[in-house]
Amino acid sequence: MLTAFVKFIFLLFGAAAFQNSALKWCADHRVHHNKVDSDEDPYNINEGFFYAHMGWIFLKKNNEIKNNYARDMLADKLIMWQHRYYIPIAVVVGFLFPAFLGNLFFNSWIGGLAIGGFCRIVMVHHCTFFINSLCHCLGTTPYTDKNSAKDSWIMALFTFGEGYHNFHHFFQNDYRNGIMWYQFDPTKWLINTLHSFGLAFKLKLTAQEKILNAKMQMKMKKLQAKITSNEKFHQEVEALKERVMLSLHNFQELKEQYKATKARELKLKMVEAKAEFNSTLEAWNLYLSYLKVYPVQITA
């Protein structure tokens, strides 16, 4: 019952963003992920910055809902209720409610409507649009370069964490965007809080081994673009990489065993395994740094 209430609240205030119903928004987002950078991508960056930013909205073909990308949502009564009454909900919650709050607290319904209504919508729209445009043009690619999505910590500040877009595209099922503790991702923090109270469930996390492997592969790929690779280079880097992945696997296994038993000896082994993982990862990073500085040494 409480989870349904939380969903209801999110659907109410989600409509106030004036970015269409949850059904339409999610269907478009799923198509974008499935067809990213192609002609079928609704906000394809290859069509130009303005098109990806907001131009796509004005095309009639992008007003359609591709039901095969939203079958689970079509069966959800609350989502379908919001979809049917999206416009009146958006007007009431997005315009009338801010006007009411402005009149209640500042004796100015016009101020509430202007700032809490129109200004808020413009700001939210463009920050969201920048994910589709700017975060497909500028930023870093720490996990993959197979699509145009980029990570941008600056954009994360304006989009509640969505700026970590390269991670989001490569690990699509993960509920997080910023995976490090210091990365600004209030959406992740909110989901975690709801989860701790039993109001969010079935959270999907990508295994740390997969994330680390992707980052290491990208570092190797970026290094290979600068130097002439050879057999010695591959053997040494791959051997170090295998050691890193094995040490991480051992640490993760001991961590799970310790969680289940709380045995003191396992805690000591877990600490040792973590230290081993950190040292092997540092050795791998140092070796790649050496190759960057002295590329002649491995091409001779």
Q: What is the pLDDT of residues 122-158, one digit of tens each?
A: 999 999 999 999 999 999 999 999 999 999 999 999 9
- For 252, the enclosing helix (H) or strand (E) is helix 231-261
Question: Is 179 within 8 Å of 208 (Cβ atoms)?
Answer: no
Whether residue 203 is predicted with pLDDT greater than 90 in this model: the reply is yes
Whether residue 297 is predicted with pLDDT greater than 50 in this model: the reply is no
Question: Is 273 within 8 Å of 243 (Cβ atoms)?
Answer: no
Q: Average per-residue pLDDT in the chain?
A: 91
In single-letter form, the type of residue at position 270 comes to M
To the nearest 5 percent, what fractions of the chain are helix, strand and coil?
70, 0, 30
Q: Is 133 exposed, middle or buried (0-12, 13-18, 19+ CB in 10 A)?
A: buried
- List the one residue out of 116, 126, 124, 122 whose CA is nearest residue 93: 116
CA pair distance 28, 58, nearest whole angstrom: 14
In degrees and rounded to multiples of 5, residue 151 shows phi and psi of -90, 135
Question: Is 25 within 8 Å of 106 (Cβ atoms)?
Answer: no
Q: Per-residue DSSP letters for 164-200?
A: BHHHHHHSTT-S-S--STTS--HHHHHHHHHHHTTSS
In single-letter form, the type of residue at position 231 comes to E
pLDDT above 90 covers what percent of the chain? 77
pLDDT higher at 236 or 267: 267
Instruction: Identify the bridge partners of residue 164 per DSSP, sorted by sequence position.
Output: 151
Q: What is the pLDDT of residues 205-217, one digit of tens each?
A: 999 999 999 999 9
| Domain spans in the chain, listed from the N-terminal domain onward | 2-196, 208-299
Whether residue 295 is predicted with pLDDT greater than 70 in this model: the reply is no
CA distances from 9 to 4, 16, 205, 255, 293 (A): 9, 11, 25, 37, 54
Whether residue 277 is predicted with pLDDT greater than 70 in this model: the reply is yes
